[in-house]
Amino acid sequence: MHMSEYAGEIALIVRLSNRMRPHRIAPEMGQERKVIAGMKRRGIMFALLALITSPVWAATLRGAPRILDGNTIEIEQTNVRLSGIDAPETDQICLDAQGRKWACGVAARDELIKNSNGRTWDCHTQKVDEYRRALGSCFIEGEDVNAWMIRSGWALSAGASRHTYVVHELVASTASAGLWSGAFITPGDWRGRNTSTIIVGAKTVPINAQEILLGALVLSEPPSPECRIKGILARGERIYHLPGDSGYEQIGMTNTRSERWLCSEAEAEATGWRKAAR
């Protein structure tokens, strides 16, 4: 839904507001009528503000979704970001119980696909995030998908509603499920990782975990053969390059702060990346 759909209502409110401007009146009644007119005008302007800031994205969506990553889906042609959780990006690498690297971000997405198994989802959204994804909770046959992701160890509780899911995170860490089976960087820290980023895990963390997960070589190869799109942060813009694009081979994929692998154009565009100009 777009604000253009409210053009008529906005125009009406503005016209009413303009009519409330005080006119020349008798001195003995001037102050009182000016106050009343001012109050009415402010009321109308508050109505305009409420309309502009109302949750126009509030909706109930139903269908079998396309799952783009561990917390982003496309349903009824709407990109939805599961609220209250944070799953690893598809480029994220973790360590297993033996200290070996594995593509935990791709695994989180794939486990959500397996759990979905083509079934119908019901999603309830309230607002949008910075990438214009609708934020909300989704259910499969009555089961809370957001909670399932955390309870299965494929996401962490996050955001303003994290308290809703924190008990599920405790269950996952206690059971060494999903990400908690080894060592990992929290998804939020992964996006802005640096040499001081902390490695977490349910049990022990290998002594060389930081060297492995924070080194430049962690990006040198795509996390999965399907994830060959290169994303680069350039002058504040998120730009992605497809294999074969001009300049693709020149992107070294060694800068952990400005470069990442992406698995599909749909994932890239849903998370704020723009296709490079040819």
pLDDT greater than 50 at residue 223: yes
Q: What is the mean pLDDT of the chain?
A: 83
pLDDT at 106: 98
Please tell me the distance from the alpha carbon of residue 201 to that of residue 215, in angstroms, as a whole number: 19
Specify whether the CB–CB gap between 102 and 94 falls below 8 A: yes
pLDDT at 205: 85
Contacts for 262-265: CB closer than 8 Å, 24+ residues apart: 262/90, 262/91, 262/227, 262/229, 262/230, 262/231, 263/69, 263/90, 263/106, 263/109, 263/224, 263/226, 263/227, 263/229, 264/68, 264/226, 264/229, 265/229, 265/240
Please tell me the distance from the alpha carbon of residue 237 to that of residue 88, in angstroms, as a whole number: 21
Specify whether the CB–CB gap between 52 and 223 falls below 8 A: no
pLDDT at 216: 75
pLDDT (tens digit, 9 = 90+) per residue, 59-114? 899 999 999 999 999 999 999 999 999 999 999 999 999 999 999 999 999 999 99
pLDDT at 41: 52
User: Where does the pLDDT of residue 57 fall: very low under 50, low under 70, confident under 90, or very high at 90 and above?
Assistant: low
pLDDT at 31: 45
User: Where does the pLDDT of residue 14 fall: very low under 50, low under 70, confident under 90, or very high at 90 and above?
Assistant: very low
Percent of the chain having pLDDT more than 90?
Answer: 64
Q: Which helix (H) or strand (E) holds 209?
A: helix 209-214
pLDDT (tens digit, 9 = 90+) per residue, 160-189? 777 889 999 999 999 999 999 999 999 999
Retrieve residue 234's tokens.
Answer: 């350039």
pLDDT at 42: 52
- Mean pLDDT value across residues 229-236: 92
- Mean pLDDT value across residues 191-202: 90
Q: What is the DSSP string of 41-94?
A: HHHHHHHHHHHHHS-TT-EEEEEPPEEEETTEEEETTEEEEETTEEPPPTT--E
pLDDT at 161: 74
Pairing of strands 134-140, 237-241: unpaired
Please tell me the distance from the alpha carbon of residue 141 to that of residue 196, in angstroms, as a whole number: 43
